[in-house]
C-alpha cells in the first residue's frame, strides 16, 4: 500500500494542541507508542508483587485492580504484547509473559462470554509473536469452554447468567468481540463446529440486534423455546432505544473481524453500514471521541468515552483495508483524526501520571456511576492496537 498521508489534510483534521496537529503522522505514532510503553512499564512494575492481580483502572488517586475473573483481565497483558511487537524490548516481553500467565485459569471459564476478551487479547497475541505452543493449548481449551454457552435451539452464545427474572437468554452486542477466539480455534484445530457457532451468533445478532439505521441495541434476550427475541433494551446506555457508544464500536469491530476470518460479504456490508452510522452521526464530536452515548444530551460536562474512540479507530483502520478508493480513505482519515486526538495532551496522560494508564476520559458504565471519566485498561489496549495497525500501514 502506498503512503496515503497528506499533511495539509491531516492538519485540518487533527485534534489536540497545535504541535500535535503539525507533527508528521509517523513521528506522532512512534512517540505515542514509546510513551505508551513507558506508561505501561510503570503499571507492570507496580503490580509485579501483587500476586494474581491485574490493573483495571485508577480512580480518585487509587489503583483499582482485579483478578483474572474480571472481564478485562486480558487487556493489560495484550497491551504489553503489542508494545513488545513494536519495540522488541526484553523487559516488556518479560512482563507480557508474567501478566499473561495470570489469566491462564480462565481457559476453563464457562460461566460468562468474556473468555475471548480474556484469552485472545493476551494468549492470542502472545502466540502470534512467540509461537509458544503452551499458549496454543490455552486458546483451544478456552474456545471449547466458550462454546459451551451456545444453545443450538437459540442460535447464539449466552452472555450473562444473572437477572433471570427479566432475561431468559440475554445476549449483548459486546459478545461479537469474543467470536475471534472461536474462529481462530476452528482454523487451528479443524473443529468446524466452533466456526459454525461463531457464524450462527454473528448471523442472528445481525438479524435482531440492529435497527434500520444500523445502530445497535445493547441487550437482546431470547425466548429459549422459540429462539425469538422477547426483550430488547440497554444495560449501560442512556435509554433502551439509544445508541450506547462503545456498543456501536463493538459491533463495527466484530463484523470487520468476522469478514477477515470468513470472507463473507454479508459481514463486510454490515461493518460498512455501522461505520456510516458512526461517521455520519450528527452527535459525533468533531475530534472523533464520542460522548458515552450518542443520544445523551450533549453539554460541555457530558462525559466522553475514549475507549469507544480507540475501538472505533482500530476497527476503521482494518475496515479500510477491505474497501477501496474514497471509502477506504474516509475510514483511514477518521481513524487518524481519532488517534491524533487520543495522542494529544487532552487524552494522553503525562508520563508517570494517571496511575500508569495511557489514556484519560473513558466511561465504563455511566448509568451505574461506575468508572466515569477514568482510565480503563481496554481503552489503552485498543489505542495501542490502533497505533500498531497504523504504523504497519505507514510502513507498507
Q: Is 174 designated active site?
A: yes
**Cβ neighbours of 249 (radius 10 Å):** 29
Q: Which residues pair with 231 in a beta bridge?
A: 221
Q: Which residues pair with 365 in a beta bridge?
A: 370
Q: Is 293 designated active site?
A: no
The rounded distance, in Å, linking the Cα atoms of 252 and 267 is 10
User: At which residue does the C-alpha cell 472505533 appear?
Assistant: 312
Coil vs helix vs strand at 306: helix
CB 206 within 8 A of CB 217: no
CB 202 within 8 A of CB 171: no
Q: In which region does residue 61 sit, left (phi positive, over 0), alpha (psi from -120 to 50) or beta (all else)?
A: left
Q: Active-site residue among 114, 293, 305, 380? A: 114
User: If residue 245 lies in a helix (H) or strand (E), which one and from where to where?
Assistant: helix 245-262
**Cβ neighbours of 280 (radius 10 Å):** 9
Q: Active-site residue among 20, 90, 174, 191? A: 174
User: At which residue does the C-alpha cell 503512503 appear?
Assistant: 3
DSSP 173-207: GGGGGGHHHHHHHHHHH--HHHHHHHHHHHHHHHH
The rounded distance, in Å, linking the Cα atoms of 210 and 45 is 43
**Cβ neighbours of 131 (radius 10 Å):** 9
Which three three-digit cell numbers place residue 329? 480513505
Give the E-state strand segments of 287-374 in sequence order.
362-365, 370-374
Name the packing angle between helices 306-320 and 245-262 (round to 10°): 30
Query: What residues are labeled active site?
Result: 114, 174
Amino acid at each position: 500500500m502506498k503512503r496515503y498521508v497528506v499533511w495539509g489534510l491531516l492538519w485540518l483534521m487533527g485534534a489536540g494542541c497545535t504541535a500535535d496537529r503539525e507533527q508528521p503522522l509517523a513521528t506522532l505514532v512512534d512517540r505515542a507508542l514509546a510513551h505508551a510503553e513507558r506508561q505501561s512499564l510503570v503499571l507492570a512494575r507496580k503490580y509485579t508483587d501483587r500476586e494474581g492481580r491485574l490493573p483495571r483502572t485508577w480512580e480518585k488517586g487509587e489503583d483499582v485492580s482485579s483478578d483474572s475473573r474480571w472481564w478485562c483481565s486480558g487487556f493489560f497483558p495484550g497491551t504489553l504484547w503489542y508494545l513488545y511487537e513494536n519495540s522488541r524490548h526484553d523487559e516488556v516481553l518479560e512482563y507480557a509473559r508474567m501478566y499473561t500467565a495470570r489469566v491462564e485459569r480462565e481457559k476453563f471459564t464457562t460461566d460468562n462470554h468474556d473468555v475471548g476478551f480474556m484469552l485472545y487479547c493476551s494468549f492470542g497475541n502472545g502466540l502470534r509473536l512467540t509461537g509458544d505452543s503452551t499458549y496454543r493449548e490455552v486458546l483451544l481449551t478456552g474456545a471449547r469452554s466458550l462454546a459451551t454457552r451456545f444453545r443450538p435451539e437459540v442460535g447464539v452464545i449466552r452472555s450473562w447468567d444473572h437477572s433471570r427474572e427479566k432475561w431468559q437468554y440475554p445476549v449483548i452486542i459486546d459478545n461479537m468481540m469474543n467470536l475471534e477466539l472461536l474462529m481462530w480455534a476452528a482454523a487451528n484445530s479443524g473443529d468446524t463446529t466452533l466456526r459454525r457457532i461463531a457464524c450462527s451468533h454473528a448471523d442472528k445478532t445481525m438479524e435482531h440486534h440492529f435497527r434500520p439505521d444500523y445502530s445497535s441495541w445493547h441487550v437482546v434476550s431470547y425466548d429459549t423455546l422459540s429462539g425469538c427475541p422477547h426483550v430488547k433494551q440497554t444495560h449501560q446506555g442512556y435509554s433502551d432505544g439509544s445508541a450506547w457508544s462503545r456498543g456501536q464500536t463493538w459491533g463495527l469491530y466484530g463484523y470487520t473481524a468476522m469478514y477477515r476470518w470468513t470472507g463473507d460479504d454479508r459481514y463486510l456490508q454490515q461493518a460498512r453500514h455501522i461505520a456510516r452510522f458512526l461517521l455520519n452521526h450528527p452527535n459525533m464530536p468533531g475530534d472523533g471521541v464520542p460522548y458515552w452515548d450518542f443520544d445523551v444530551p450533549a453539554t460541555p460536562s457530558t462525559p466522553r468515552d475514549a475507549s469507544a474512540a480507540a475501538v472505533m479507530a482500530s476497527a476503521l483502520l482494518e475496515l479500510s483495508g477491505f474497501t477501496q478508493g474514497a471509502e477506504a480513505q474516509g475510514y483511514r482519515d477518521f481513524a487518524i483524526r481519532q488517534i491524533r486526538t487520543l495522542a494529544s495532551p487532552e487524552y494522553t496522560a503525562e508520563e508517570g501520571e494517571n496511575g500508569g494508564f495511557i489514556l484519560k476520559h473513558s466511561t465504563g458504565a455511566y448509568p451505574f456511576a461506575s468508572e466515569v471519566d477514568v482510565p480503563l485498561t481496554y481503552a489503552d489496549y485498543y489505542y495501542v492496537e490502533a497505533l500498531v495497525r497504523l504504523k504497519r500501514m505507514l510502513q507498507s
